[in-house]
Structure 1
Amino acid sequence: MPTFELGPNQYGKAEIRLVRVERQAGGDRLTDLNVSVALRGDLAASHLTGDNTAVLPTDTQKNTVYAFAREFGIASIETFAARLAEHFVATQPTIHEARVSIQQHPWQSVDGRHAFRRDGSEVRTATVHHGPYGTQTVSGVTGLVLLKTTESEFHGFAKDKYTTLPEARDRILATSVDATWRTAGPPADPEPARAALVEAFADTYSYALQQTLFAMGSRVLERCPDVVEVRLSLPNRHHFLVDLAPFGLDNPNEVYYAADRPYGLIEGVVRRDGAPIPQEVVWSI
């Protein structure tokens, strides 16, 4: 008879939508979050026999998120995630590890009082793991769309019989940045890291998106001494010159076709030389 065993497993409440309004005399503050909780521990009985003695309901996890938002507020998504993760491990004897991931959707006031506008596709992120190894925090941003109209080239690349791409001495460079960064100690203010990413993209004369990736990661490490590692994923949002010759018109780098797919995807890690790198916590599922 074949035998089977239970492998790694976790459970939790995913994508808890939370909007908190801080009522202030000088204008309200709006925080818009998407919170996901995952817990690990002595949970085999629930899988093997349906015994739920060790299972804290996911509905309770959802309620905890809302209650903590009211009781403690949300100073930053990193501190809010850490408070939740530590709570679940500390209060549930069968839970030994917790992972809380948060996405923050930015809103900007339009009147300084009560009206807001949503800021595009950019989302702030934070993931906190808490368990026997301590607490680890990774901050980041996703969907940060950047574009340069010039100061970008791409030439000298390998060619074979299937290559049709012409070499470019002047092109549009566009991407949608997904970035995460680790700190050696407690999480720091994420804005300097984000600003460094944007600044490096803008002032780096690029001969390849790979070069821009390294410049962006390096700038974060230069500006943020607590950051020890930056991970970047940069899709190349291709812009192709339109051939206007059939209409008797030239096209001096003015009219482009913006292609959404397929796209090049450049990914990499930039680390501080010689600095201790935190051991990454990887949950296999």
Structure 2
Amino acid sequence: MAIVLGENRYGKAETRLVRVTRDGETHTLADFNVSIALSGDLAATHLTGDNSGVLPTDSMKNTVYAFAKEHGVGEPEEFALRLARHFVETQTQIRAARVGIEAFGWERLGPHSFKRQGDHTRTAEVTVTVEQSQVVSGISGMVLLNSTNSEFHGFPRDKYTTLPETTDRILATAVDARWRHLHDPADWGKSYAGVVEALTRAFVETHSLSLQQTLFAMGSRVLSEQAEIAEIRLALPNKHHYLVDLSPFELTNDNEVFIAGDRPYGLIEGTVTRDDVPPAITEWYP
């Protein structure tokens, strides 16, 4: 039996970058968490300890900061593409570079004052190979809630089923979405905002018979309105809200008082895609 080296990559994870762009007294803030992974002709370092093809991960960290100074950062997709292309173009032993960015939002309070937006995180993951590139944008932790217009009934029952059917419940979730681009849009920021708006409006406007139905409605709305998107993957935890039994206090609970559950929770995942899109060049994750 032969023992061989399988797929491998290495890089610098979670380089924290804050870039202040100064336009007189008015400042703009970019707050990124950047992770880089490189793969290619790297067998020697694993098999013999020959590091002649191993660009130090410290160099990757320094590149993030130098590029932020020399070129600015712009949208996270733009910065990730610039970094990934740099490593593939300058390191002949590298066949593919993957750059992932978490972008943390700040709300402007004044010319140079900001408040951290803590309700969700924007993400971007770029993969660049010698032949082509792939951009996956995303959002995580966007909490949405409908206090009505949600039902769940008609499901199979077995001897362990205790869940009652309902025609009126709270539907809440924390949206984790990733979408792959067919091509680079003219404006990455506008594209991102359009996807988030489509996801939100579909959640609001769908009378839900299941969270699965809502997931498909959200993904379909994105693809119907954003021509640059090839497919979208969603992971929607069901943030359960349980009706409190107030009968011991001789009170009627008309869908007004709930316990917000923590765990366990249902997790609904799915991909909504166009039927004629080219395949992804590498695996990407929800």
Under TM normalisation by the shorter chain, which class is it? Answer: over 0.9
Are positions 1:152 and 2:150 aligned together?
yes
Q: Which of the residues 169, 176, 185 maps onto 2:167?
A: 169
The answer on whether the counterparts of 1:106 and 1:119 sit within 8 Å (CA) in structure 2 is: yes
Q: Is the 8 A contact 2:88 2:130 kept in 1?
A: no
Give the Å deviation of 1:51.
1.3
Q: Which runs of 5+ in 1 are unaligned?
A: none
RMSD of aligned residue pairs (Cα, Å): 1.5
Pairing of 1:56-67 with structure 2 (within 5 A): 56-67=55-66
| Equivalent position amino acid for 2:208 in 1 | S
> Paired residue for 2:103?
104
Residue 121 of structure 1 aligns to a residue whose secondary structure is coil
Assess if the C-alpha contact under 8 Å between 1:11 and 1:38 holds in 2: yes
The offset of 1:132, in angstroms, is 2.9
CA contact 1:148–1:172 (8 Å) conserved in 2: yes
Q: 2:266 aligns with which of 257, 264, 268?
A: 264
TM-score, length basis structure 2: 0.95
Q: Is the 8 A contact 1:184 1:278 kept in 2?
A: no
**Preserved CA contact (<8 Å) 1:101 1:125:** yes
* 8 Å Cα contact 1:97-1:130 kept in structure 2: yes
1:240 & 1:283 partners in 2: Cα distance?
Answer: 35
1:124-135 alignment to 2 at 5 Å?
A: 124-135=122-133
Instruction: Quote the residue 1:31 is aligned against.
Output: 30
Q: 1:84 offset after TM fit, Å?
A: 0.4
Note the C-alpha offset of 1:26. 5.9
What one-letter code is carried by the residue in structure 2 that aligns with 1:195?
E
Q: How many residues align?
A: 281
Separation in 2 of the partners of 1:134 and 1:118?
36
Whole-Å Cα distance in 1 between the matches of residues 283 and 140 of structure 2?
A: 20
| Distance in 2 of aligned mates of 1:40 and 1:223 | 35
Question: Which runs of structure 2 are paired with 1:203-242 in the superposition (5 Å)?
Answer: 203-242=205-244
Alpha-carbon distance in 1 for matches of 2:121, 2:2 = 45
Counterparts of 1:171 and 1:205, CA distance in 2: 11
Taking the aligned partners of 2:159 and 2:2, their CA distance within structure 1 comes to: 53
Q: Which amino acid aligns with 2:5?
A: L
In 1, the alpha carbon distance for the partners of 2:167 and 2:100 equals 42
Contact 2:25 2:112 in 1 (8 A): no
Give percent identity, aligned residues only.
57
CA distance in 2, matches of 1:109, 1:83: 27
Deviation at 1:283, TM superposition (A): 8.4
Q: CA deviation at 1:208?
A: 0.5
Kindly indicate whether the alpha-carbon contact (under 8 Å) linking 1:229 and 1:277 is maintained by their aligned counterparts in 2: no
Once residues 284 and 102 of structure 2 are traced to their aligned partners in structure 1, the CA distance between those partners, rounded to angstroms, is 19
- Mapped to 2, the partners of 1:69 and 1:15 lie a distance apart of 15
Q: Does 1:115 align with 2:113?
A: yes
> Could you say which residue in structure 1 is the equivalent of 2:282?
281
Q: TM-score, normalised by structure 1?
A: 0.95
Distance 2:24 2:207 in 1: 46
How many angstroms apart in 2 are the aligned matches of 1:27 and 1:42?
46
Aligned-partner Cα distance in 2 for 1:222–1:25: 41
Corresponding residue of 1:180: 178
Residue of structure 2 equivalent to 1:85: 84
Aligned residue type for 1:58 = T
